């Protein structure tokens, strides 16, 4: 994945191009609109008549950026799903443990509550660390 690679001059040129292209796409100036139409027409006319798979094999910087972003989104959703599954599993285990302990050892109720509060804080700290790591990776893609 290119998210871990070092930034080079091509990345800065790409960022400049994206900013300029964004401005052009949102421009109301008829000259800019005509220039964009002309550009699209030139690309359409000069594109070789090949199969879709051959066209898809050319990966430029915008395509790589788009795919990296999609890959990060899929990984983030997967991680969120795994965290939810772990939470559900932990909740079930906690409920079973709590029921057993309360029946067998009623005085440990307060100790268990303190341990659960600490575990919840550890879970929250871990989520915060994951969010910060994800932000760093996304910022690395954008730069």
The pLDDT value recorded for residue 120 is 82
Residue with tokens 């949102």: 26
Report d(CA 78, CA 3) in Å as an integer: 18
The pair phi, psi for residue 16, each rounded to 5°, is -65, -45
**Distance (Å, rounded) from C-alpha 142 to C-alpha 65?**
8
Of all residues in the chain, what percent are helix, strand and coil, respectively (each to 5)? Answer: 85, 0, 15
| HSE-up (13 A, CA, CB side) for residue 65 | 16
pLDDT of residue 106: 58
Helix (H) or strand (E) holding 113: helix 109-142
The predicted pLDDT at position 1 comes to 43
Q: Read off the pTM.
A: 0.42
Residues 6+ apart with CB under 8 A from 109: 101, 102
pLDDT tens series, the chain, 143 aa: 444 556 666 666 778 888 888 888 889 999 999 999 998 888 888 877 655 555 555 667 778 888 889 999 999 999 999 999 988 888 887 777 766 655 665 555 566 667 777 788 878 888 888 888 888 777 766 65
Which pLDDT value is given to residue 2? 46
Closest CA to 116 of 136, 90, 135, 140: 90
């Amino acid at each position: 994945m290119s998210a871990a690679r070092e930034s080079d001059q091509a990345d800065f040129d790409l960022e400049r191009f994206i900013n300029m292209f964004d401005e052009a796409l949102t421009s109301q100036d008829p000259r800019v609109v005509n220039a964009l139409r002309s550009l699209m027409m030139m690309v359409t006319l000069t594109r070789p008549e090949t199969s879709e798979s051959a066209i898809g094999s050319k990966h430029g910087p915008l395509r790589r950026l788009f795919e990296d972003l999609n890959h990060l989104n899929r990984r983030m959703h997967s991680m969120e799903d795994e965290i939810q599954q772990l939470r559900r599993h932990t909740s079930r285990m906690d409920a079973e443990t709590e029921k057993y302990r309360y029946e067998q050892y009623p005085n440990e109720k307060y100790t268990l509550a303190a341990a659960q509060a600490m575990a919840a804080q550890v879970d929250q700290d871990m989520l915060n660390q994951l969010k910060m790591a994800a932000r760093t990776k996304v910022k690395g893609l954008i730069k």
